[in-house]
Amino acid sequence: MARGPSLANKCQILFGGAILLILAGALSVPWMRLEQSVEESQREMSRQLAETWLRNGFDLNRTEGIPIPIRVVMVERIEEGGIADIFVEQSYRQFVAEPAVAEFFSTVSTEGGVLYRYAHALRESQWRAIQDRQFVNFAPHASELSLGDPLRAILVIERTSSFASKQIQSNRWYLVVGGVVAVALAVVVFSLILTKLIFSPVRRLRASAEKVRRGELHVRSALRTGDELEELSRAFDVMLDEVDNVQSSLRSMNESLDLKVVELSEVNVGLFESNRLKSEFLANVSHELRTPLNSIIGFAELLDEIARTDASADPKRVRYISNILTSARLLLDMINELLDMAKIEAGRMSLAVVPASVADILEGLQTIMRPQAMAKQIEFLASVDPDLTTVETDPGKLQQILYNFLSNAVKFSPAGGKIRIEAQSITVETRPAVRISVRDEGEGIPFDLQETIFEKFRQVDASHTKMHGGTGLGLAICRELAHMLGATVGVVSEPGRGATFFVEVPVYFRVKERQPLMGKSEGVR
């Protein structure tokens, strides 16, 4: 990021501009008044010359033959048009229009300087007091006698003063130079004051902050200015003390955490090894338990068949053998579930992906589950989309998932109820899939348990007096198998209105690749 002007440069530029504007505004008044003052002085000088001439001009005999810028223009000549002087005509009209006005003044710029022209009205009363009969004919005029104090002549003084022009220019130069010097001195003084009072402490604070940014937390600014900057420095130092204390605490906590992590890693290794041994033990024990249990079931089935064909058999013997078979088969189901979970956790569960027909799988499951359903007078209602295509999956694993759903539906549905099986094509994340759902008419699942029932050893009714048996592994196995198939399982239920378990199987199987440590890769078909 590009760095802008520094604080010192900004302050100097802004203060210099402000001082320049202030001085320019302050000096503009004497700048304009200077020319007016010179004009007023020249007017006063011309007025004094006129008064001197009026008092002594005729007596001193200085109106003829001497190059003095004073002349008298008679009204008769102006009225006859004998004077081609605009200034005289303007002054004449002014004096006639306003009898109370006695003088008229104007300036004209020339090559030799400024020409100052002054006109003074000579009326009848003043004319009689200053008349000189040697040079002027004072014969009375009939038209003038009828006026109270008529205008008789105009005294005109024309003076060119190069000194006044030079004074104006030199004074203006003095104003400009003085203003520039004042601005420069003000900027210099202001810079020195700001550098001493503000910039130096701020630079020290910035240097301290830069060191802190590099990790030197022991740095302290320790300003002693006696103003707000010292308070800021003190607050900054207190903050650094707090940061230093916090970092010390964090270092101690990190050391403790490192020890805990080492301990936890050792414990985790032990737990992992224990879990592995547990899984292997369960797999081995479950496998070993199934062999004698299959023998027990086989001999029990043989005894049951003999008892049922013997007409003289005791009815209790038939019932006892049936109870043995039922308990043995339940125990075998539990052992199979434990074996499946152990295989999944040990990573020994393999897949055999082939194109499978969902309709055939559902038909076979209904045939398998129909005896259990008929025992409770439960009816299967199947609805399969006729346009349903085959899916690439492991039909045995998919059948195991659906078998668990149907087994639970039969188990929890009331006698005489109905179980609805549906299969339809859907789209999941822009990919074709098949959704298979099993809906029962049981008591339903509370909302707070609809996620936890897919965890291991979790059941809706986990009390010792529960009505239905089971290990709580069926749905957990369904979720793990669905994950292996790239499918998704879920449940939709309302308490008292049954439950709908579903599985969404992609039409095309995608092998999941191991995720690399860096980056992300997608599975390939």
More confident site: 165 or 192 = 192
Q: What is the pLDDT of residue 125?
A: 78
Report the range of poorest mean pLDDT among 20-24, 146-150, 300-304. 146-150
Residue 198 confidence (pLDDT) above 50: yes
More confident site: 400 or 346 = 400
Please name every residue paired with 435 in a beta bridge, in sequence order, or none if there are none: 424, 504
pLDDT-derived band at 512, boundaries 50, 70, 90:
low
More confident site: 102 or 333 = 102
Q: What is the pLDDT of residue 463?
A: 44
| 150-170 CB burial, b ≥16 within 10 A, e <16 | bbbbbbbbbbbbeebbeebee
* Cα(327)–Cα(337) distance, integer angstroms: 15
Residue 2 confidence (pLDDT) above 70: no
**Tokens read off for 420:** 């609805």
- pLDDT tens digit string along 87-123? 888 888 888 888 888 888 888 877 767 788 888 888 8
Q: What is the mean pLDDT of residues 144-153?
A: 65
* Cα(417)–Cα(410) distance, integer angstroms: 9
In the chain, the percentage of residues whose pLDDT exceeds 90 is 5
| Amino acid present at 78 | I
Residue 268 confidence (pLDDT) above 60: yes
Selection from 327, 284, 281 nearest residue 304 by Cα: 327
Cβ proximity of 454 and 489 under 8 Å: yes
Q: In what order do the strands lie in the sheet with 151-161?
A: 70-74, 151-161, 113-123, 103-110
Residue 132 confidence (pLDDT) above 60: no
- How many residues are given for the chain? 525
pLDDT-derived band at 45, boundaries 50, 70, 90:
confident
Residue 231 confidence (pLDDT) above 80: no
More confident site: 457 or 376 = 376
- pLDDT tens digit string along 170-188? 777 877 887 788 878 877 8
In the chain, the percentage of residues whose pLDDT exceeds 70 is 81
* Cα(430)–Cα(185) distance, integer angstroms: 77
Q: What is the pLDDT of residue 438?
A: 92
In CATH, the architecture of 352-506 is 2-Layer Sandwich (3.30)
The dihedral sign for the CA sequence 407, 409, 414, 417: negative
Which residue spans of the chain are classified as CATH 3.30.565.10?
Answer: 352-506
β-bridge pairing 354-356 and 151-161: unpaired
Please name every residue paired with 71 in a beta bridge, in sequence order, or none if there are none: 156
State which of 7-11, 75-79, 307-311 shows the largest mean pLDDT.
75-79
Report the range of poorest mean pLDDT among 53-57, 99-103, 184-188, 265-269. 53-57
Q: What is the mean pLDDT of residues 473-481?
A: 85
Whole-angstrom Cα Rg for the chain:
60
* Cα(510)–Cα(353) distance, integer angstroms: 10
DSSP 389: P
More confident site: 379 or 213 = 379
Residue 133 confidence (pLDDT) above 50: no
State which of 284-298, 304-318, 327-341, 398-412 shows the largest mean pLDDT.
398-412
Q: What is the pLDDT of residue 206?
A: 76
Please name every residue paired with 484 in a beta bridge, in sequence order, or none if there are none: none
Q: What is the pLDDT of residue 496?
A: 83
Residue 141 confidence (pLDDT) above 50: no
Distances (CA, A) of 441 to 303, 411, 418, 500, 501: 37, 11, 7, 9, 12
Q: What is the pLDDT of residue 435?
A: 92
Residue 344 confidence (pLDDT) above 60: yes
**Tokens read off for 117:** 């022209």
* pTM, two decimal places: 0.45
Q: What is the mean pLDDT of residues 120-147?
A: 58
Cβ proximity of 445 and 493 under 8 Å: yes
Q: What is the pLDDT of residue 502?
A: 93
Q: What is the pLDDT of residue 66?
A: 45
More confident site: 266 or 54 = 266
Alpha helices in 358-415 (DSSP H): 358-375, 395-412
pLDDT-derived band at 436, boundaries 50, 70, 90:
very high
β-bridge pairing 379-384 and 354-356: unpaired
* Cα(511)–Cα(525) distance, integer angstroms: 6
* Residue 430 Ramachandran class (φ > 0 left, ψ -120 to 50 alpha, else beta): left
Q: What is the pLDDT of residue 138?
A: 42
Q: What is the mean pLDDT of residues 323-343?
A: 76
Report the range of poorest mean pLDDT among 75-79, 251-255, 435-439. 75-79
Q: What is the pLDDT of residue 6?
A: 65
What average pLDDT does the chain have? 77
Q: What is the pLDDT of residue 283?
A: 65
* Cα(88)–Cα(122) distance, integer angstroms: 13
Q: What is the pLDDT of residue 49?
A: 81
Q: What is the pLDDT of residue 457?
A: 65
| Residue whose tokens read 């224990």 | 274
* Cα(431)–Cα(408) distance, integer angstroms: 30
